[in-house]
A and B are shown apart, each in its own frame.
Chain A
């Protein structure tokens, strides 16, 4: 199983492993066994949300904090429904991104996710998106798609879309 995981890559995983030096076995997993985000992964996905959802998140700090908390809660629920194989891959991705060398090596982000500015996080996302390495492109899609799926699943997000919700029957 080990050799097939880490987003099931050959070259990408070799680079990622080189980035983190010690190899993933020593890294704290990103997810709890039931799929919930562990603290490091919460910081990653909180930062990613500020980058991806820039423009729809509230500006007021207290409101932003509350919005991110419920977003992370929805992410927990989303992840819990994924099969074990998917969760294992995402757990490794979050573990890598939560560690300074992994974060820097994969995304170029020099600051922790929870203190980086929106512009810095977006630069990190863009470097993943523009990369020619499959692992980094896969990471971009995973982070961005999960974020949008969890955020726009909630009816409170629909006003920004002009979506009036399902017809009441």
Chain B
């Protein structure tokens, strides 16, 4: 049992206004200035800024309020409590498993802290193809700087864990550049349990930064409460209808909470944000809503080394390589970013291929196992239109993301690149995570085998932890759902402030892109609603 300070429990004791679940009973009606759907990266930044501007803010979060005291570094507790669909959210054909947060703080509570500004090549693509003239690295720099300052985003000075250092060593043998990943941590204990909620509050997630600031400033937070529908009339939202939900997502009781606000900000994360707009039957004259949803589809390569790796220990993802993004045009064959993820028993054993004795043999080498992942940069080519969010008959969202030949060609090249790096780092054997693959003992053998693998969905293991798009931002109404200022093209008092804004994938772990871009949008929203200048830092 941790005896470390818990700023969330302290805040509750101080009288934070939190409703739903085990907290105060949900009221039937709340009047406020701004209702924010969600409590993740975009919602948190927005809530703090609007509260600072003196606006009365209400946040609505579908998941529970859990904090460091509850974070026991156990996958069995974290996945059902903190993740969408118990960390088993899947695309329509079940070929991609999606990790996405569902708790106060959203994915920022459970992410692996990797912090990158939006790549300049991505911004230039957005300017050229989506009319986003203001999206330059120079124009965004001050907004990123503020977010970095507010969230302690700095170079990670501890030595990388072995799982990451193997990426560096293997890549450098092949003259492939790697670089350090900046992290949003203060006083990190280097435990490696980021994905289960930070037990020491070192991770500067929304849970311990912007949301406490907003709650201390008088904002209200509804938890275990789903934003079911935005009621609209004459091009304006008139109310947000919310219902209490159980941990499995079912409706907990028949009552409805109506939130009536001047302005509404949707920031429930990609997939869920477009789903709310779809459920609400908001205008979508150009059929953009829910489309162009991107995942950075990820393929994985495992490798066994003579020396211990202990991939569960130490900060995850502290080194990366953009070699396979930078060495080819952004609008050519799909490129990929390489990183070294944390390895924990449930995520590892449910991702690796095989069963029975072969699996047992492989798992016995878990302490000596290293893994690399390749995040494919989707959305920059006509053959990479991403997926489409639709609704099931019960109103829950379902993402259809076809893994076509264009994407799977990238998957093959990524498996080849990762295997080559792993052998260069001294791997005994390499296992591309694919149902038809086995362990290979040399680069020559792996190269030949991977070249012949059938690169099909459900045979190739594909996962995602970065959901983006679906409410795209664009310079004109035909190309997007929201305007460059984040306001809906057809609904004047509605904004979107989360990863669903992105018109393509980011091409890097998205959290800092959300913080920085939403910082700009929310600062200008605060000005227009309250007439006051505020700043995140």
What is A's interface to B at a CB cutoff of 8 Å?
1, 4, 7-8, 35, 51-56, 74, 77-78, 80-87, 118, 122, 125, 129, 134, 137-138, 141-142, 144-145, 147-149, 151-154, 157-158, 160-163, 166-167, 169
B355 and A122 within 8 A (CB): yes
Given A55-B357, A163-B312, A82:B248 Cβ within 8 A: yes
For the A-B complex with A85-B396, A141-B94 known, give 19 more contacts whose Cβ atoms are closer than 8 Å.
Answer: A4-B392, A8-B93, A8-B398, A87-B248, A122-B356, A134-B93, A134-B458, A144-B355, A148-B349, A149-B88, A151-B349, A152-B345, A160-B360, A160-B363, A161-B364, A162-B366, A166-B191, A167-B191, A169-B2
Nearest neighbor of B4 in chain A, beta-carbon distance: A169
Instruction: For the complex, give the distance between the alpha carbons of A157 and B312 in Å.
Output: 16
Nearest neighbor of A84 in chain B, beta-carbon distance: B250
Q: Which residues of B contact A82 (CB under 8 A)?
A: 85-86, 88, 248
B346 and A153 within 8 A (CB): yes
Q: Which residues of A contact B85 (CB under 8 A)?
A: 82-83, 86
A81 and B86 within 8 A (CB): yes
Q: Which A-B residue pairs are the 8 nearest by beta carbons?
A: A55-B360, A166-B73, A81-B80, A153-B76, A148-B349, A52-B355, A162-B367, A54-B356
Q: What count of chain B residues pass the 8 Å CB interface test? A: 49
B345 and A161 within 8 A (CB): yes
Q: Which residues of A contact B193 (CB under 8 A)?
A: 166-167
Instruction: For the complex, give the distance between the alpha carbons of A8 and B291 in Å.
Output: 20
A84 and B458 within 8 A (CB): no
Given A55-B360, A153-B345, A163-B345, A1:B86 Cβ within 8 A: no
Q: Summarize B's interface: helix, strand, loop or mixed.
A: loop
Q: Which residues of B contact A153 (CB under 8 A)?
A: 75-76, 345-346
Nearest neighbor of B84 in chain A, beta-carbon distance: A83
Q: Which residues of A contact B396 (CB under 8 A)?
A: 83-85
What is B's interface to A at a CB cutoff of 8 Å?
2, 4, 72-76, 79-80, 85-86, 88, 92-94, 189, 191, 193, 199-200, 247-250, 312-313, 345-346, 348-350, 355-357, 359-361, 363-364, 366-367, 392-394, 396, 398, 435, 458-459
B349 and A137 within 8 A (CB): no
Given A149-B349, A163-B367, A166-B191, A80:B248 Cβ within 8 A: yes
B51: min CB distance to chain A, Å: 32
Q: Which residues of B contact A54 (CB under 8 A)?
A: 355-357, 360
Q: Quick one: which of B200, B345, B392 contacts A157, CB cutoff 8 A? A: B345
Instruction: For the complex, give the distance between the alpha carbons of A59 and B88 in Å.
Output: 31
A74: min CB distance to chain B, Å: 8
Instruction: For the complex, give the distance between the alpha carbons of A118 and B191 in Å.
Output: 39
